[in-house]
Structure 1
């Protein structure tokens, strides 16, 4: 389960904030060059499934803290109920007796623990949504036709986009870079709009299927990117 954020929830939230204004448009069909087409990471493909589980967790825990009087849910209490003695199982003799109300925790503790679970669920949701917005499904290079020379545009389609829709960026604003997660994972850095990760292994680059192992896929992707006028972001050397 790869992640360009290394499970950093705060970076994921910051990424969603930066990309909130990025437009989503249909990918042009004319004069389009299929630069990349692959499968996003597992967590990006099934983010909505994990998100639904996260919502169930958050609502259940908030209910248990607020209405149930428990700060956390104890499943063993229902699976292994305490054995009642013979005296406890005997019905009360007095029909007018009233069962005492279930005690609840103070309001400030219920509110604090409910807010904790709500905040934790929100951070997990931000992380999952950021994965859908950052893992690339396809990249298409379009060179506009016309009398005046216009710069080529790169359309980046991520896992969260409908098929055939993508973010449009100028190719001159995009740089191809490597990641610290793995040597087989690459990413496109687009100024302030964020980073879009993809895996070249097993994908289709420039209409050519890539092998699932080795360095050929990364090398061919780098060669194709430079051959179409793209820039490469060099690694920053660490100070010793």
Structure 2
């Protein structure tokens, strides 16, 4: 009786150990699957973003650091698993630190460069020059509404460059529209009681296209009477 009970207990212990071993292996496999799954998703998302930039005509100068090396590690691991699936529990290199974490670093670097590329693109498109002219016009009551409109548009444009858009093509079209609105606001700048020569000069000066010949005596007198001469600078092309 005692021997039978002992044998039964031993069998139960062996069964439990086999179950525990299987459970541990399943946990390890699940961990590996999660690691590879996250890495694959991160890389796929980055690739999608970089392709979106390319399709929008805004190439991102990003080359993964030691990309071929990690591709080779993936190949080695894949071939090893084909030969012996259990190798996943004792891989030829540290999967987390030497592979998955490194891939995450590459992805982070890719997004950083993509973000900087987009920000630089928006800033280049929105190169409106110094704020001197705009600040000067804000002091003239007849121009305050126009200045407020221009500033609101500029704020929207700059805001577009703060982060990578979800839809780069659509956001680029939005950027084109805002810049067009900005230019229209400048070209339509007017006031009934301000001389036409002054309006023409200010419009041109705002885009750095004012010729010295447009700086007439009338323009100088008008600006000087409102203490606005200091807002303008002469530069050589």
Taking structure 2 as the reference length, the TM-score comes to 0.28
Kindly indicate which of the two structures has a greater share of residues assigned to strand. 1
Kindly indicate which of the two structures has a greater share of residues assigned to helix. 2
Larger radius of gyration: 2
Taking structure 1 as the reference length, the TM-score comes to 0.28
Per chain length, whose mean CA-contact separation is higher, i.e. which structure has more relative contact order (CA < 8 Å, sep 6+)?
1
